[in-house]
Structure 1
Amino acid sequence: MQLNFSGLQALVTGAGKGIGRDTVKALHGLGARVLAVSRTNTDLVSLSKECPGIETVCVDLGDWEATERALGSVGPVDLLVNNAAVALLQPFLEVTKEAFDRAFNVNLRSVVQVSQIVARGMIHRGVPGSIVNVSSMVAHVTFPNLSVYSSTKGAMTMLTKAMASELGPYKIRVNSVDPTVVPTAMSQKILTDPELVRKLKERHPLRKFADMEDVVNSILFLLSDRSASTSGSGILVDGGYLAS
């Protein structure tokens, strides 16, 4: 499947590491002009060296006012990938207000805020657009110590549908990608128990976690015109986990 995003402007949040970083690199390689957003400036500096010509914005998306200052006049955007997230591990009985608020502010509230900014720009320009929310298979299944993170992703499933419904008349499509474990720094914090890793892989019918490329390719598909009639949907990149 050959894709070309030449002439289009993409905005990717959580661009410094993991899925977001590889998405920026893929979009840049396929001709898009990319605005990479991260709260860690050193990550943006190194990413700029890998992808000359991209724009970067350093901001903590958990801060509504700072995000408005940084992105409120961002300019025309055709493609948006809401990838920024935090996973704060706490057993349910030990969940703190601070962890709850931080997770929902970054993982869900920022999706609302950034999507509003981008969608209003699309509507004002009278152009179609595509938004992809990076969710997780834990929107559909529980994992130990991830009650809050899972809740943010479960809420994202319904937010994606609501956004698709309300933005559809403006020719703006909204979908999500729901991956299983991917080799990122975030997942390494979760998978510290080798026995848990073994059991998880065994439950996957494909007996493997997702490669980064698998997730990025699904994001690119949903951003592209190849998915022109797909909106309000979620692509499971879970190795069949939810089928078993």
Structure 2
Amino acid sequence: MGDFEGRTVLVTGAGGGIGAATVRHLARRGADVIAAARSIDKVAELCEETGARPLAFDLESEDSIREAIEGLGSEGVDLWGVVNCAGFGGEIATPQETDISVFDKVISVNARGALLVTKYASREMIRAGKGGAFVNVSSQASLVALTGHISYGSSKAALDNITRVTALELGAHGIRANSVNPTVVMTPMSAWYWGRPEIEGPFLDQMPLGRWATEDEIAGPIAFLLSDDAAMISGVSLPIDGGYTSR
């Protein structure tokens, strides 16, 4: 029996690298995982592999999020945990060059979308009365200034504050909330920029461990923060960045 046996955990962004790795970690440990993406097609193969249940909704639509999550409750599903992993990278731009429409979309997906999932999921978790945990996938870009990351870093800084306030407001219900703040994982979303030799080399030279993270190295700490081993940890932002933000 795994340590998540009998617990239902919703993972958004399950069609991406970190999200899919998180689904696999939780499924191996006995969780009833709901793998969410914008379309069922994005998670169909993952669900067949892991036994997770697919769920589709649009992170930019409050109605879509509400209907999907309230639908779980109407089907008798007691939601216990949430991993807000879905994200949009946006652009690489300075403050004076940023396209404000891109900024708005990055905020809409990374911060507003995660807040809306938290809004409706927390209601279901409170109704179930079994406590629970949120883990929000933030970024090192929320902790330190990174060149060209005005939109992405701002969205993740907002997400970190959502985490802290969620921890404060929901603690009385036995619900914890934490963030993980990874360095770059070479997913398709990141490789187009961070994979450039002129970007990759200087950045890794400043990182004590000197390498990028793997998807499993992010999924493991996410699972830890969801688990009872982290039962007294709430409201933190955990860097998973090879020591980069310790400089």
Same fold (TM over 0.5): yes
Which AA in structure 2 matches 1:87? G
Matches within 5 A, 1:28-107: 28-52=27-51, 54-75=52-73, 76-91=78-93, 92-107=95-110
1:215-237 CA deviation, whole Å, 9 max, x = no partner?
11110110000011100011110
> Residue 228 of structure 2 corresponds to which residue in structure 1?
225
Shift of 1:192: 4.0
Q: Deviations over 1:95-129 (max 9, x none)?
A: 23321221111101111111121111121222110
Q: Secondary structure at the residue paired with 1:178?
A: strand
Distance in 1 (alpha carbons) for counterparts of 2:122 and 2:40: 26
Q: Distance in 2 between matches of 1:138 and 1:163?
A: 21
User: Any conservation in 1 of the 2:135–2:225 contact (CA below 8 Å)?
Assistant: yes
- In 1: Cα distance, 2:117 partner to 2:245 partner: 30
Structure 1 match to 2:14: 15
* 2:187 aligned partner: 184
Structure 1 unmatched runs, 5+: none
Instruction: Look up the equivalent residue of 2:126 and give its one-letter code.
Output: I
Which amino acid is the alignment partner of residue 29 of structure 2? L
Please give the alpha-carbon distance, in whole angstroms, between the structure 2 residues aligned to 1:119 and 1:160: 12
Partners in 2 of 1:226 and 1:3 — Cα distance? 13
State the distance in 1 between where 2:66 and 2:192 align.
30
User: 3-state DSSP class of the match of 2:43?
Assistant: helix
Task: Tell me how far 1:71 sits from its aligned partner.
Answer: 2.2
Structure 1 length as normaliser, TM-score? Answer: 0.94
Shift of 1:142: 2.2
Q: Higher mean Cα deviation, 219-228 or 95-104?
A: 95-104
State the Cα RMSD in Å. 1.5
8 Å contact 2:2–2:30 — kept in the other structure?
no
Which residue does 2:214 correspond to in 1?
A: 211
Partners of 1:166 and 1:49 in 2: how far apart?
Answer: 37
Q: Is the 8 A contact 1:135 1:178 kept in 2?
A: yes
Instruction: Decide whether aligned partners of structure 1 residues 72 and 105 sit closer, same or farther in structure 2, where only a CA change above 3 A counts.
Output: farther
Runs of 4+ in 1 over 6 A off after TM superposition: none
8 Å CA contact retained: 1:16, 1:40:
no
Equivalent residues of 2:193, 2:199 under 8 A apart? no
Measure the CA separation in 2 of the matches of 1:77 and 1:206: 37
Aligned residues: 242
Separation of aligned partners in 1, 2:143 and 2:233: 20
Quote the Cα distance in structure 1 between the aligned partners of 2:25 and 2:130. Answer: 23
Q: 1:190 to 1:237 in 2, by over 3 A?
A: same
What's the CA shift for 1:39?
Answer: 1.3
Other structure's SS at 2:24 match: helix
Gaps of 5+ in 2: none
Change (3 A) 1:207 1:192: closer
Q: Deviations over 1:38-82 (max 9, x none)?
A: 114332111122113x21112221122222222233221111100
Please tell me the residue identity of whatever aligns with 1:143. Answer: L
Identity %: 35
